[in-house]
Amino acid sequence: MNYNLSKYPDDVSRLFKPRPPLSYKRPTDYPYAKRQTNPNITGVANLLSTSLKHYMEEFPEGSPNNHLQRYEDIKLSKIKNAQLLDRRLQNWNPNVDPHIKDTDPYRTIFIGRLPYDLDEIELQKYFVKFGEIEKIRIVKDKITQKSKGYAFIVFKDPISSKMAFKEIGVHRGIQIKDRICIVDIERGRTVKYFKPRRLGGGLGGRGYSNRDSRLPGRFASASTSNPAERNYAPRLPRRETSSSAYSADRYGSSTLDARYRGNRPLLSAATPTAAVTSVYKSRNSRTRESQPAPKEAPDY
């Protein structure tokens, strides 16, 4: 399209001046008619025939895949571990355990997450307030004789064990030295199909260690290691409302206050208000109203 640039001033016509043509560059590729494969290029079958033959003779079944072998080893170890737990579970019978034989399971409580340097005498000081204690046993390793971190306490009265479980429980806990310990009922002889944690059962892991990291914002600082010493954030002061129907705190607006500068008109009883005429209509009724009415034929 050609433009008549003579009618524009010189400073404007220079803006519409065409650019110079593109400079010629020699193509780097061959023309389509002259394209061909290098005749000096040959296949590698002749070079690999001897090497491949020696490899197949040395490794008739192929070399092992170390990457897949790692997954196979993990899978095999899980199967062996599951079989070992099944064999131990078949031999596990808490009713014939010599350590708890001839004891009432309903008078026995379980204490978990104990400090490893705690002994029976120190543990008795925390639970003697609930009632008279008949027996205390801290479970220890058979070889090293080190504490496993949990114990069983047998009271002389089942009401004492029930009070200890209700007051401390699993969620509240009790602080013994520098750890929060939990109290639960003995589930081995009272709960059917219960399995201990060492045999693949139990009631959970150690999620209490990351309790503070899961709480957002100001609630994270309110949580402490001891639930009884938590300092919750104070509540916001409750806004006072007047007894009248109109309240400046409820219907106030900083934008309108700045506009009227304290002379904002108030609604009085004489001020007319628009009546509410909005009525709910279904989709079908709105569709019928939007469609034009059919024309009637004249009767003559």
CATH assignment at residue 106: 3.30.70.330
Q: Which of 192, 129, 206 is nearest to 163 (CA)?
A: 129
Mean pLDDT of 130-141: 93
57 lies in a domain? no
Asked whether residue 103 is assigned to any structural domain, the reply reads: yes
Is residue 155 domain-resident?
Answer: yes
Q: Is residue 116 part of a domain?
A: yes
pTM of the model: 0.48
On the question of pLDDT at 227 being above 60, the answer is no
- What pLDDT shows up at residue 18? 86
In a domain, 104, yes or no: yes
d(CA 116, CA 153): 17
pLDDT at 212 exceeding the cut of 60: no
Burial-class residue 170 by CB neighbours within 10 Å (0-12, 13-18, 19+).
middle
Percent of the chain scoring above 70 in pLDDT = 71
Q: Is 277 helix (H, G, I), strand (E, B) or coil?
A: coil
> How many C-beta atoms surround the C-beta of residue 109 within 10 A?
23
Do the domain assignments include residue 202? no
Q: Flag the least confident range among 20-24, 56-60, 77-81, 284-288.
A: 284-288
Number of domains in the chain: 1
Per-residue pLDDT at 110 exceeds 70 = yes
Binned at pLDDT 50, 70 and 90, residue 260 comes out as low
Domain containing residue 152: 96-186
pLDDT tens digits, 34-78: 888 888 888 888 878 888 888 888 887 777 788 899 999 999 999
* Mean pLDDT for the stretch of residues 74-101: 89
Average pLDDT over residues 150-170: 92
Rounded to 5 degrees, what are φ and ψ at 4?
-85, 100
pLDDT confidence of residue 74: 95
What is the pLDDT at residue 297? Answer: 63
Q: What is the pLDDT of residue 80?
A: 95
- By the 8 A CB rule, do 126 and 174 touch? yes
Q: What is the mean pLDDT of residues 224-245?
A: 52
Domain annotation covers residue 18: no
Buried-state track 131-158, b at ≥16 Cβ within 10 A, e below 16: bebeebbbeeeeeeeebebbbbbbbeee
Average pLDDT over the chain, rounded to whole? 78
Give 134's DSSP letter.
E
16 in a domain, yes or no? no
C-beta of residue 250 within 8 angstroms of C-beta of residue 242: no
Report residue 285 as tokens. Answer: 């009724």
Residue 23 has pLDDT above 80, yes or no: yes
